[in-house]
Amino acid sequence: MSDLLSLGASGVRTYQTALATTSENIANAGNASYVRRTPSIREITGGNGWNNSSPNGMGSSASSILRAGDAYADQTLRTASSDLSRTQAGSVWLERIETALSSGGLSSRLTGFFAAGTALQADPSSTALRAGMLSAGSSVADAFGVTARALDDAAGELDGQAVQGAAELSRLNQAMLKVNQGLVRTAPGTSAMAGLMDQRDDLLQQMSALSDIDVKLDDYGRATVRAGGPNGPVLVDPKDASEVAYGRTGSNVALAVRPSSGTPTLFDPEGGSLAGMVEGAQRISSARDALGRVATDLTQTVNDLQAAGDDQKGNPGTDFFKSSATDPTSFTVKLNSGDQIAAAGRAGGSRDASNLAALAGKRTSMGFEGSVQALVTDNAATLKQRRLVADAQTTIRDGAVTTRSELTGVNLDNEAIDLLKFQQAYQASSRVIQVAKETFQSILEIR
């Protein structure tokens, strides 16, 4: 009779655990970081060999809690998320470049400057037309400054966000180290162990959104994570966590992994938002350099033509623009009045406009407006292509999320079935105890 009581008691304990596990699954059905758990129910045997004290088993036990993790689905989702994060982050800065290049209306102001020169060419003695060309030159100088400052502001904002991203990755490294330490101290097959593994996978997902990572798990479930691929620097291992730093030297930007002991290692991420930021920084710098080249060419071309001609009073022309030696986009109009515009060739007289005709020719050959427009067009085409790629990558990422959810997520229909099954088993085990009690009582009452 005691065996019957033990069998019933073991069933009650087993299905209490099973019901608790199923209830936890149901409670976390909306938690994307939660991985479904199931109890591992096994028979408690009654002995072995010839010394078997009972022809039956000794009941059952929920020996461990199994976690429905899938390493392949996790890796696929991390890769898809990393690719999408890079494209989305890169698109943000392409949009900022587009806004900066259009902020000063540079292309239209260049057109206005050359148009003013063409108008003055028709009547080189007109005071009003000379004043108009001088004003148009000031507008061009202002437009270069506005555009350059907008690009500089974008670069400064990007640097701030990249520093924050690197700091966030460092924080995640430290959190992963704590999870690794917890995993080795936690009994396997427990709910606590499953919870730590959920935290580990969630942290890895967050890390992959910042940088592409390579993950290796040991027998305890502890993660060794490398940045930028299997040969990259170690971000975190079972014993240590590294810091990640972002820095800029002029137009060059870089990311480095700095372990607690040792020298920093530079790495170039291929995925994640940090990769998109690095790419964005390079594109902003490239646009800034291209803008500077146009400003330098314009300043040099106009000033050379001024030096080759005479102003309205017959004096040799002087520099039209005054530029900065350190920043070619920072320049102003040097002339004080329209009379100083060298419209005529050398000794050509007040009605001569051959120098302005040469300026029109330089406009065509140098392609100032075309260079600026090419910057805008190239950036717009790249941004459009990135948006198309982002749409495709979003579909891939969503598919990876769905696949992982099907493999590891909670299905409420299945949980309802398990709940009913375990409830009935619990009630039946309770009934076994009741029957054993009643039978034992009946035996005691026999006289």
Residue in the block written with tokens 């909670």: 410
216-269, pLDDT tens digit by residue?
Answer: 999 999 999 999 888 899 999 999 999 999 999 888 899 999 998 888 999 999
Q: How far apart are CA 254 and CA 153, in angstroms?
A: 19
pLDDT at 265: 92
pLDDT greater than 90 at residue 5: no
174's enclosing H/E stretch is: helix 127-185
DSSP string of 184-224, one letter each residue: HHSPTTSHHHHHHHHHHHHHHHHHHHHS-EEEEE-TT--EE
269-289, pLDDT tens digit by residue?
Answer: 999 999 999 999 999 999 999
Residue in the block written with tokens 């073991």: 10
- Reported confidence tier of residue 441, pLDDT bands at 50, 70, 90: confident
Mean pLDDT of 161-185: 96
Share the mean pLDDT of the chain: 92
Q: How far apart are CA 74 and CA 94, in angstroms?
A: 30
Mean pLDDT of 166-178: 97
Contact 197, 186 (CB under 8 A): no
pLDDT at 52: 53
59-83, pLDDT tens digit by residue?
Answer: 888 889 999 989 999 999 999 999 9
Half-sphere exposure of 63 (CA within 13 A, CB side): 7
348-394, pLDDT tens digit by residue?
Answer: 887 899 999 999 999 999 999 999 999 999 999 999 999 999 999 99
DSSP string of 78-113, one letter each residue: HHHHHHHHHHHHHHHHHHHHHHHHHHT-HHHHHHHH
- Reported confidence tier of residue 199, pLDDT bands at 50, 70, 90: very high
End-to-end Cα distance, the chain: 18
DSSP string of 227-265, one letter each residue: ETSTTS-EEE-SS-B-EEEEEEETTEEEEEEE-SSS--E
Percent of the chain residues past pLDDT 70, beyond the cut: 97
The angle formed by the CA atoms of residues 141, 147 and 148, to the nearest 5 degrees, is: 90
Tokens of 436: 């054993």
Q: Is the dihedral of CA 183, 187, 192, 193 positive or negative?
A: positive
332's enclosing H/E stretch is: strand 331-333
Closest CA to 375 of 300, 296, 289, 297: 289
- Reported confidence tier of residue 3, pLDDT bands at 50, 70, 90: confident
pLDDT greater than 60 at residue 32: yes
- Reported confidence tier of residue 47, pLDDT bands at 50, 70, 90: low
pLDDT greater than 70 at residue 153: yes
The pTM of the full predicted model, rounded to 2 decimals, is 0.87
Tokens of 32: 């994307």
Q: b or e along 150-176 (b: 16 or more beta carbons within 10 Å of the residue's beta carbon)?
A: bbeebbeebbebbeebbebbbebbebb
Question: How many residues are there in the chain?
Answer: 447
